[in-house]
Structure 1
């Protein structure tokens, strides 16, 4: 059984639901610990937290789980792989990382809007930005290279990429991102 409702709706949505102890419950609600869900469901059934991302549709995304459970492992291996974590604190860190997905897409949309503001047709700008970052996305599958190495491989010393990286990815922006992640992590606990 998969429980997938918004955290704020869980009490109303799950009221009266009882789960037999021989079932396995996969909890995909962000910020809802297994102990909390166990109390809501009043069950002794095995509970597994999971973070299935949209790419599971194409079987291309690893799913973070806690704790490891054979039934959940089979399901998520089929959908792109499983990454088991040791405890719910580690699980919450991975959950916070998922909060960066739309920021990435918004970054790409900002690039497109910037180009449009400089006279490039919006369709052309978006086509170019998509093509530019699709290749970088494919390069992410090369796990032999760290993310730092991947960045270095795409950067010419004293070139355009280095200029934007060092101007935009400064200490203040890095600290702002880390604070946003810390704040989200605190809310997920």
Structure 2
């Protein structure tokens, strides 16, 4: 299989690194968008080539990953000539499937996906819809695949990814609190990163639900229970739900419908 990437940001770099560090790496063709990233990937991996333009990518690969910002997706695709053997795998959030199909006709298939930065270590659990053998092969090479029941469920997964930055900000708040109490900032950061990094690893190793895991880390009357209950009294869980439900606004390419994120039409 040969894979082409139109758009070379962080997600493309992660997928390409994951593909290229595995045994028997596939041929990878990159667009010149994001020239610095493309050049670094081509210098690092012998299976990666930077093409002259985006059409050159399509001319060399049947599986095309679209990874450009939503506002420019139409203009980028309008310049390209797809063939029926092409599979367009969109990693661009905020563009409805019917538009992707219209803009990439006569491509044989269009798949929406949510690849994660962990692809660089081949540990991305990539959500995609609909199921497609070509897309499944690609994302299996860089981790696992999860196919939800319908398009609306995929939108909900997209909404959940909005919590990434807030989670990191939460950890940063703990580090800042420790530093304000006299702990060396570097030591505080190393400790918090280790504790929550290892906690994340334990989540992957245990088949239990998050509720069960939370109970195991909660001693009745202990510090964990007190801290959790303080946050619940302050309405933190409800604030999280409100933030996930909130309409991100027209610039984000999504609207809220019945409490679930859906792509703007």
Unaligned runs of 5+ in 2: 1-63, 249-254
8 Å contact kept, 2:88–2:107: no
Provide the residue aligned with 2:216 in structure 1.
153
Alignment of 1:19-58 (within 5 A): 19-58=82-121
Which residue in the other structure is 1:16 paired with?
79
Q: What per-residue deviation string (whole Å, max 9, x for no partner) do you get for residues 75-94 of structure 1?
A: 11121110011221000000
| Structure 1 runs not aligned, ≥5 long | none
Match of 1:6 among 59, 65, 69: 69
Specify which structure has the higher proportion of helix.
Answer: 1
Scaled by the length of structure 2, the TM-score of the pair is: 0.68
Question: Mean Cα displacement is larger for which, 16-25 or 107-116?
Answer: 16-25
Matches within 5 A, 1:27-176: 27-170=90-233, 172-176=235-239
CA distance in 1: counterparts of 2:112 and 2:204, whole angstroms? 25
81-90 or 162-171: bigger deviation? 162-171
**SS in structure 2 at match of 1:82:** strand
What is the CA deviation profile of residues 93-150 of structure 1, one whole-angstrom value per residue up to 9, with x for unaligned ones? 0011111111111111111011111111100110111111122111111342110111
TM-score normalized with structure 1 length: 0.93
Paired residue total: 189
